[in-house]
Amino acid sequence: DAKTTQPNSMESNEEEPVHLPCNHSTISGTDYIHWYRQLPSQGPEYVIHGLTSNVNNRMASLAIAEDRKSSTLILHRATLRDAAVYYCILREDSGGGADGLTFGKGTHLIIQP
Amino acid sequence: DTAVSQTPKYLVTQMGNDKSIKCEQNLGHDTMYWYKQDSKKFLKIMFSYNNKELIINETVPNRFSPKSPDKAHLNLHINSLELGDSAVYFCASSRTGTGGRSGNTIYFGEGSWLTVV
């Protein structure tokens, strides 16, 4: 999996939007952009993924730059429960097999009440 | 219903012992994984396994071995435990498929906290 770069930590206030950036300048044409998060003392959980177009789901939105070298995870209205480590991960469309996830350091998101 | 369940959640054991961590998934997935999260919070894949192949991270000591009695289970056996094996171990599962395209969401268990003393 190609490498991603994220800020070590970010801080935001409750009920405000949060924009979590991710740089992936070496992304290949077959790499999908995935976001997972890990709440304290829990296993990672899927948030969202995309290829080229922006994506929305009930948890978040994913904005992908036109050149695909960066993306932004958007939490529209952060709650205290969103405090977690957020991981931006590239996954190749490998065509099958038992491929897993390669985690980086992620961004530690702190939410202030 | 817990999708991916691991037991035990906490395990304290002495150096040199042999221990196992069990993992079961009820999602009908055919690929399962073990990840290790060390004290610095880095998550690293140890194994991925489906009925066709076992992929082993080359950095994993051969004291660690996955055992899969059936598609719903992938247990982690650790022989001759060392202090450095203390970590949180996460089991996970997904459908085998087209890698990144469909998401092939990977579901993680809640972790097993292993402490070697």
- Tens of pLDDT, residue by residue over A90-112, are 987 654 555 678 899 999 999 99
CA distance A111 to A106: 16
The pLDDT of residue A100: 76
The residue-averaged pLDDT of B24-30 equals 93
At A26-73, the pLDDT tens digits run 998 888 899 999 999 999 999 999 999 999 999 999 999 999 999 999
How high is the mean pLDDT of chain A? 91
The pLDDT of residue A2: 59
Amino acid of residue A78? A
Residues in chain A within 8 Å Cβ distance of B103: 32, 34, 46, 49
A34–B53: do the CB atoms touch at under 8 Å? Answer: no
CA distance A89 to B100: 10
Contacts of B33 (CB under 8 A, 6+ apart): A98, A100, B45, B46, B47, B48, B49, B74, B91, B92, B93, B94, B106
CA distance A18 to B2: 30
- Substitution target from A51, A101, A108 for chain B, most B beta carbons within 10 A: A101
**Which of A36, A38, A94 lies closest to B99 in CB terms?**
A94
As given in the structure block, the two tokens for residue B54 are 């076992």
